[in-house]
Amino acid sequence: MFNRFGRTTQEIQGSNEFRLIGARTSGKTTYLAALVHWPNAPENSPIEAVDPLDDETGRLIRYAQDILETGNQMAGSLLPLDPNEMPPSYSLSIRLQNRFGRGDKRLNITCKDYPGELFEQLRGGNRPELLEPYLDDCAIAPGLLLMIDGTNHKEDRNYAQALTILQNELSLRLTAQDRPLNRYRIAIAFSKAEQATVWLYRNDINQFLGKKFPQTQRTITRWSRQWRCPIKYFFCSAFGMKGNPPKPNFRETQGGNGAKVGVINRPKFWRPFGLVSPIYWLHTGKEDRRLH
């Protein structure tokens, strides 16, 4: 096919579906909204555009504009009482310029953004019956994007406990389906990387893990060894940096219900980073540092 500049565009082959899991306030929906909106991309970016493929995904752009730019409060999402109600699927296309080879390329992906309450139930919540359909659905996808608030290292132990349960439950399901565990792909993205406590380690994610999330790191390492599956860590920021020296393009304000919410400080200079790299890796199994 041809893109709007008349150049041929080829679809990148790979795993087109994944699930997005993380605790409340880890920034999952904010991540997706910033990705679909994709504001102020630099001219030398290999990412040409991010396009929503359906109305549900298109609404994330309005979320980015109404919530992140203006500070309106969004209601938190909960696991529905009806276990047959799954979260909506988001489908989008990421177009990559020809720096990746001859002709432009694109990758089309679909994901589901599970409410943060799911993570709480994994840690031993009081509604375990709600876990079953979500874990069944999670086992259908070939990969998982786990999002962790990089500033919330006090939850390290809780993350490790939840991930141990998640590993065991997924193992039961994948084994029952006769699916090889070593083909399941897991990306761990630490969000809010614009904040100083994370930004400091931007060039050494292993040092960051060892100092801030050692129990989570041990759990993930054990998971990878037992399954012999690929697992990779990433930093990402839906807010990005501004200026030189760089500062977080973030400010805290009071939402409509009195709660503190984070919004873009200077929307004109809003440039998120690290959003595409975990998706590209999940899709292809390859890493390209130009996407960080």
CA–CA distances in Å: residue 185 to residues 141, 258, 280: 10, 40, 12
Question: What is the per-residue pLDDT for 1?
Answer: 44
Q: Where are the alpha helices (DSSP H) in the chain?
A: 28-37, 55-63, 117-122, 131-140, 156-176, 196-199, 205-212, 214-227, 276-284
Higher pLDDT, 169 or 261: 169
CA–CA distances in Å: residue 129 to residues 11, 140, 168, 221: 40, 19, 16, 29
**pLDDT, mean of residues 269-273:** 93
Question: What is the per-residue pLDDT for 237?
Answer: 96
Higher pLDDT, 275 or 101: 275
Q: Are 110 and 91 in contact (CB under 8 A)?
A: yes
Q: Check whether 262 has a pLDDT greater than 50.
A: yes
What are the E-state strand segments in 37-195? Answer: 47-52, 89-96, 104-113, 143-149, 185-191
Distance CA 256, CA 270 (A): 23
- Tokens standing for 125? 């919540």
Higher pLDDT, 15 or 185: 185
Question: What is the per-residue pLDDT for 101?
Answer: 54
Q: Check whether 287 has a pLDDT greater than 80.
A: yes
Name residues whose C-beta falls within 8 Å of residue 154's C-beta, 6 or more positions apart in sequence.
none
Q: Are 248 and 257 in contact (CB under 8 A)?
A: no
Name residues whose C-beta falls within 8 Å of residue 172's C-beta, 6 or more positions apart in sequence.
none
**pLDDT, mean of residues 241-248:** 94
- DSSP, collapsed to helix, strand or coil, labels residue 264 as strand
Distance CA 34, CA 270 (A): 10
Strand partners, 188: 146, 233
Higher pLDDT, 2 or 272: 272
Name the pairing type of β-strands 143-149 and 104-113. unpaired
**83 — pLDDT class (breaks 50, 70, 90):** very low
Read off the pLDDT of residues 94-141 as tens digits, 9 standing for 90 and up.
998 765 456 678 999 999 988 888 888 888 766 667 788 889 999 999
Q: Which residue reads 């012999």 in tokens?
A: 228
Q: Are 277 and 292 in contact (CB under 8 A)?
A: yes
**143 — pLDDT class (breaks 50, 70, 90):** very high
Q: Check whether 146 has a pLDDT greater than 80.
A: yes
Q: Check whether 152 has a pLDDT greater than 50.
A: yes
Question: What is the per-residue pLDDT for 34?
Answer: 92
Question: What is the per-residue pLDDT for 130?
Answer: 76
Question: What is the per-residue pLDDT for 75?
Answer: 47
Across all residues in the chain, what is the average pLDDT? Answer: 86
Read off the pLDDT of residues 191-223 as tens digits, 9 standing for 90 and up.
999 999 999 999 999 999 999 999 999 999 999
Q: Which of 24-38, 184-198, 229-243 has the lowest mean pLDDT?
A: 24-38
CB-CB neighbours of 163 under 10 Å? 24
CB-CB neighbours of 222 under 10 Å? 14
**pLDDT, mean of residues 28-53:** 90
Question: What is the per-residue pLDDT for 123?
Answer: 81
Residue 71 — φ and ψ, nearest 5°?
85, 15
How many Cα atoms are found within 13 Å in the side-chain-facing hemisphere of 31?
33
Distance CA 222, CA 208 (A): 18
Write down the domain spans for the chain: 9-291
**2 — pLDDT class (breaks 50, 70, 90):** very low
**pLDDT, mean of residues 155-182:** 95
Distance CA 95, CA 242 (A): 25
Question: What is the per-residue pLDDT for 102?
Answer: 61
Question: What is the per-residue pLDDT for 81?
Answer: 45
